[in-house]
Structures are given as structure tokens and as C-alpha cells.
Structure 1
């Protein structure tokens, strides 16, 4: 099928211009003015912005947590992603203690295959680094096209690995050009504070925030950076939340060590005052927790200055019943919030329109940088001849209200309930197929495709 998109204002990470786009099959075949006006499907994008399809590098669909699962699975979560202009997600296949990386991949592939609306890939979380795990890494990178491995410096006794293991993982991944990503908070410090508050019977949601102070994040971030520099591995810090951690990233980069960083909309837009809202505060129990208004502003500056390259969501929703079940003990409340649908619209409304970031930077952090960092570029993340026709047609003037009553997450609350945003996704194309039009999904589940990724040296230390 051929598609013509005419009269749109095309925004990429480096360009801003008005032109027509011709798509044949899955690829963009021509871009310019005065192109032939015949196609199977014609979309007039007059007064609309055209972006590359969004890439969310951090989501958790159908994730087992505390005996339940995150409430969005690959069907509902990727459908919500399409409504928000995200055409590719990267989820996490989590290794079980005593299990192999391949068993983790098999489990997550079964969840996704035949269910996803958008394209997808995986990071693999390494929680038990054995001889078998070590032997699997080469084939994961070179055969499976999974080039990024997540590690945890928190969640003691479940996901956390110690520094010696971290270095061993880095050394092995380095051999094959892969990347190590990290949840960088100090698990020992957090565990100590949790026990202190438990003894004091201070277990309200506010103490979730107080048990994970910003210095626990900055210390772990600095320690991870030191190990990455020592081993020379490609390194990426996920969901960074605070000024102190950002300073560690800046210092490393100023000393010519390329450490990459991600943040999330919740850390740019929400703050720890929400932990004072009584029972409702359980909505915002996530890890790391929300920080201060000053931290929020530092993160926006970090994006502008290029020290933060991507904005993912860490999308991990739960129903309010599950959030409230143990509301008197924050340690028993499942961590995570919904957000996959609202990432691009929030960043446009709160970032671009409030002059915190430019349109080009918006495309960088929502699509292009993730494509480059995680080995999908130039297939994804750009509007150029030969790239996949993953395209968002966006009305920059349409106002709407975010609400659980209208969102497409399988979740009965919104972290941004009642927010008015300006800017609305109107149409979405994925690999040349019109997948969203007139606020209606145009495809069946299973259209989404697993993506093999190449190695990238953008995080080379």
C-alpha cells in the first residue's frame, strides 16, 4: 500500500521544514515538495506537526510484582502506546534467580508474540550472574539482537547484585560491544532506612520517599560510573530523578567519559508533595520516588544541556485496589505508575510549549536518541528515505484533559488526573500502516513486530 502525507511540518532531531512524504510498503520512499499526488491513502497534514514514531526505552508490561502483575499486558499496554504516539517499546525480560537469560527471553516472548500493537524489543535484567549466564551473553548480542543488560543496585535479596558481580557483568558485556544499564540506588542504605522506619512504625507513603533519599541515588550513580569507566563498557543510567545524581553524570562527561542517562515524565512534572495526600499518595509509590521541585528543574536543564538523552516512562501500572490493599505499609504497596500513553503529549505541552525544550530536542529525547543508543537507527527514530514509516501526525493546538475516564491504560487511575495539555496525537503510522486515525485503532493486536538491535557505541566510556 502507498501513502501520501501532504502539507505537514516535519520535525526531526535536526530539521524543521514543510514537505510531503511518500510511503511504499513499510518504508519512506520520498520526501519533498511537489511530489506526485497519487497514493492508495492520502492524509492532509496541513497545520499539523509530523514526528518520528516515539520510542519508549523503559516499560514493564505484565510484570510479576508482590504476587500480582502490572495491570497492562502487551495487548493493552502497546495499544495505549499507539494512542500516545509511541510506535516502539523496549520492555525487560527479567532473569529469575537460578534461571537462565534464555528462559527469561522465552517467557517474555510468549507474553508479547501475537499480542503487541506496536513494535518491541527487550533489555535483559541480570540478577544471577553464573557461568551459564556469562556464556549466554555473546549469543544474546550477536544472535538474538538483544544488546542491553539491566542491573540493579537496589532491591536487596531479590534483584540486587554486588559490585564485584557488576564489574564482572560489565567486563563480559564489553567484549561484545553491548550496553549495561542500571537502576542506581543504594540498596543497603535504603534497607537500613526502611528498617529504621519500621521500628518507629513510620510506614505511610511519605516514608517511601524518605527511605530513598537523593544521596542514596547519587552515591550509587557515582559508584556505577566508576565501574563503567574502569571496565570501558557502554553505560546507561535509567530513570534518573535528582540533581545530585545528574551532577555525577555531568562530571563524568566533562572528563570525557560518555555516560548516558534517562529520566521520566513523572520526575520532570511531579514532586514529593504528593506523598502528603493521605491514602491517595499510594498512587505515586514508585522507585525511585518523586523528588523536589528543584530536582525537577535540574532535570529539564540536564535535557537541554545534553546530559540526559532519553525520556522513558518506566510504565508499570496497578489497579487502585492493589495499591490500597496494604496502604498502611508502604513496603507492601506495588511500585509503579501508568504513563506510556501520555509521554509525548506531556513533553510537548509542558516542555516545548513552556520553552523548556525545543521541538528538535523533543524529537531527540522521545525517539531519535533511543533509536541510536539501542541500535535501531536509522530503521527507527527518524523521518528519512529508507527508514521505517513510523510517523506521528500531531495537532499542536488541540487541548484535552488527561483522565482515567478516557485513557487507554488498563488502570483505573491516572498519575496526571485532571491535567490539561495542549497538543494531541491525531494519526499514527507504523511501518507504513495507518494504525491510529480519528482516535480509533485501525489494526488488530499482533501487528507489532519483535526488533533485533545492533550494538551501539554511543555510551562508550
Structure 2
């Protein structure tokens, strides 16, 4: 393979999570070779004029589902089309999910997902879900951490009779994660309550998409979040709560952090700007297209999520990109519980968060970088390789035009789905250029990608902090006071 030509990004304002500075950025052989003023372009270099624009680390989406088999069907976006769409919006890395079937060996599922992901256009990594427990799961977790660079394990507290993890599984997996230096993550919804409420909705004859949020009220998310946090506290293990959607769950995280517990929260771009009125739309296709779990909430919950991001109780933004088309969603035409759960967003996340966050004064540009890139890199142990514009980091960069506008629409998106949950929303602030490992992947509307250009990124196990917590768990009574990880 011939070497990539150097790229010099000239005249922009470099934004990292800690500061802004006027600087040029030189990329050579896929890494950042220099950051400073007045850099000279090497022979053969491509020069990008970033005057009036920001130069930021590419977005990292810590929660996607590409090519996911779910509820009897498979998502529209595979690892190529999904990562390509992400690059068009400034996201240069994803962390997807390996989800074994109950009783399926973890390593078998992992190998399947790795095979699917070989076509990715951007860098990728994996969380691995723990859907059952046995001695073989215990052993496979060790192999995944030590040999495959997996340092996080997902636990679905929802989806009864499918992939739901009970408390025994949570306890065993959390303990094993701590031993290995891995981070447990949870989808926090009480699966038993959801199942009960779904049956009650059906008994009342409420069968349309409007029943979806009624069967998953904030209380079922809050209960599960609090339970997972309590289990993690007793076991002295850090925990990451995915797609926090309601004030009550955000408050549970804030309370735990105030006690010194190491709890981290993720927010979806959609939950920040879309409310539950979408489920009451008379058009089934429109309402069903928004069915995801947890559901979109009433507007007051959006305000609580923004406050959590501003206060530092919530740390990352993601999308849960999981695209099902209208024909797939129609499987639930007569029964809302059969609507495949999932929405898109990997392409739109940065623009939505910038427009609703930075442009409103809720976030500074540096805070934007923190919640869209740097915090994820730190929490999942790939910083400073990812998540910052610095000498030696991967040349995953987005040149960001804060004045450019765009109307988000399924008609113009690169995702292969036929719906866009942000349809018609005009945003100010878009990617003009995206670099992936030093390669120009997106240039002012022109997507320049091919299958297989992305790389699998190993994420090392955590070291001394986890070692100390593990010794503490073994030698002393449980304590709610933990050392904080910088994030």
C-alpha cells in the first residue's frame, strides 16, 4: 500500500477538551506530526484552508449497532454504510456491540462481529454484552480483555425472555470486570416492569406506538440505574450507564458521584432535542420510526440532561445508531411491542449537539469536544491516541465550519435508512472536512471512502486504579468512596 500524502490544515483554531489555540496541524503517515503556527507544507502535501473554522478531534460514538440482528430482522446500515455516514458528519470512530445469544459462547459471537466489521470505513472497537453466565463466560471475558483489547462489557437490564441479564449475572460479571480491569456498562430499564406494563397496555387495547413510552416510564429506568449503581458500589467497580434519558436516572448518577462513587453517564443526541410527542402522531410510520428504548421523554427531561452535561455528571454523547426502515417497523403495526427498537443519528450527532449546545451557550467548544470525543477516549482507555489534537495522536480530525448551515433529511443523508429522526431540523455548524487516519474521507459534501479502510482498535485494560479497587474489595468492607477517574 502506498503511503498517504501529507495533509496540512492551515489557519484554523484547534479545539481540545482543555483549550483553544490558533494553530496549523500537519498529518503524516496517519498521525499528527506537528501542531503549531506557521507550519510549512511538505512536498506533495494537500493543504486545507481552515480560516474561520475549528479543527477538532474526530467524534467518537461510544454506542452504535451496525448490522445488528434484532427482533427478527437486521439493521439497514452495516459496518461500511454506518461508518461512512459517521465520517460525513465528523465521527471518525465508533464503539459497537457484540451481543451473544443466550448460551452462545462470547468468543463465537465476537468472531462473527469482527468478520462483519472488516468492511468498516472508519476505526471501530467493541463492547461485548454479557447475556448469560457460566464458567465459559468467565473464561471468555479474560480472553477478550487480555488478547482482543476489549475493556468494557454491556449488560441489558431490559428485554425479558431475550437478552436480559438478571442480578446474579450482573454481580458475577461486575466482579469479573473488576478483576480484569474492564468497565461494566448497563442499559438501565427494569425488564420485569417493562414486560408487565406492555401486557397491561395490550389488555387495555392500546396497541399503537403511543403505548411504547407508557410501558417504559422514567421510573423503570431510574430503578434499574439505581440498582446497577448500588451493585457496583458494593463491589467497588466503576460503572457506565448508557443512554440516560430521564431526570430521575441522571439524578441517581449525580447522587452517586457526590458520594464519591465512580459512575459515568451517556446521553443520546436524540434525547437532547426530541420529545415524546412523536409517539402520538397519527401517522403510524412516523411514530414507529421513533420507537427506541429508552423512549423519547417529555421536554423537562431534555433540560435535565443538558444540566447533567453542563455540570459534569453526564460525560459522553452517543446515538445508539440502529436503523430499521419503514417496512421493518411495520412488523408492529398491530402490536407496538413488535416494532423493532432503534433510530439513527451517527451522521447528525455532532451538528445536533453543536447547534443545540454551543450555539445556545449551553456548551463551550472545548466542552463540546469533551462530550463528543475526549471523554469517551479517556473512559475507554484510548486517550491520547484518540480524542485530542496533539503530536503523535491518530490523524482523526474534523474541520468544523461554525457558520455553515444544513437541513437534516433522509433525502440527503448517507445512511441507508429511509427515515431521519431529525428530519427538517436546520443546524448551524457542520463538518467541512473529515480526516480518518490522515486520509481525507469527507470533503465539502464529497464522501471519499471504501470498504475496509477502518481499523480495529484495541482498548487496553485499566491498570493501577482498578488494581487498587480490586484489593480494596477483597480486603475491606464495601465503601462508597472511590478515587475519581479523570474524565
**Aligned runs of 1:242-253 on 2, under 5 Å?**
242-253=246-257
Q: Which residue of 2 aligns with 1:429?
A: 435
Distance in 1, matches of 2:294 and 2:462, equals 27
RMSD over equivalenced CA pairs, Å: 1.3
Q: Which residue of 2 aligns with 1:103?
A: 108
Per the normalisation by structure 1, the TM-score is 0.98
Match of 1:67 among 51, 62, 72: 72
Q: Does residue 296 of structure 1 match 2:302? A: yes
Q: Which residue of 1 aligns with 2:26?
A: 22
Question: 1:221·1:237 contact (CA, 8 Å) conserved in 2?
Answer: yes
Per the normalisation by structure 2, the TM-score is 0.93
Question: By how many angstroms is 1:455 displaced?
Answer: 2.4
Write out per-residue CA displacement over residues 409-436 of structure 1, whole angstroms, 9 at most, x where no aligned residue.
1111110111111011111111111111
**Aligned runs of 1:434-453 on 2, under 5 Å?**
434-453=440-459
Unaligned 5+ residue runs, structure 1?
none
Partner secondary structure for residue 381 of structure 1: coil
Partner secondary structure for residue 344 of structure 1: helix
Question: 1:372·1:456 contact (CA, 8 Å) conserved in 2?
Answer: no
Distance in 1, matches of 2:27 and 2:351, equals 25
Question: 1:399·1:423 contact (CA, 8 Å) conserved in 2?
Answer: yes
Distance in 1, matches of 2:453 and 2:6, equals 18
Distance in 1, matches of 2:46 and 2:462, equals 36
Q: Which residue of 1 aligns with 2:7?
A: 3
Q: Which residue of 1 aligns with 2:170?
A: 166
Question: 2:268·2:318 contact (CA, 8 Å) conserved in 1?
Answer: yes
Question: 2:84·2:449 contact (CA, 8 Å) conserved in 1?
Answer: no
Q: Which residue of 2 aligns with 1:358?
A: 364
**Aligned runs of 1:220-239 on 2, under 5 Å?**
220-239=224-243
Partner secondary structure for residue 422 of structure 2: coil
Question: By how many angstroms is 1:324 displaced?
Answer: 2.4
Match of 1:332 among 306, 314, 338: 338
Q: Which residue of 1 aligns with 2:96?
A: 91
Distance in 2, matches of 1:67 and 1:152, equals 18
Match of 2:125 among 105, 111, 121: 121
**Aligned runs of 1:119-158 on 2, under 5 Å?**
119-158=123-162
Q: Which residue of 1 aligns with 2:180?
A: 176
Partner secondary structure for residue 240 of structure 2: strand
**Aligned runs of 1:359-438 on 2, under 5 Å?**
359-438=365-444
Distance in 2, matches of 1:211 and 1:443, equals 41
Distance in 1, matches of 2:110 and 2:16, equals 33
Q: Does residue 195 of structure 1 match 2:195? A: no
Question: 1:208·1:289 contact (CA, 8 Å) conserved in 2?
Answer: yes
Partner secondary structure for residue 451 of structure 1: coil
Distance in 2, matches of 1:167 and 1:38, equals 55
How many residues matched? 460
Q: Does residue 317 of structure 1 match 2:323? A: yes
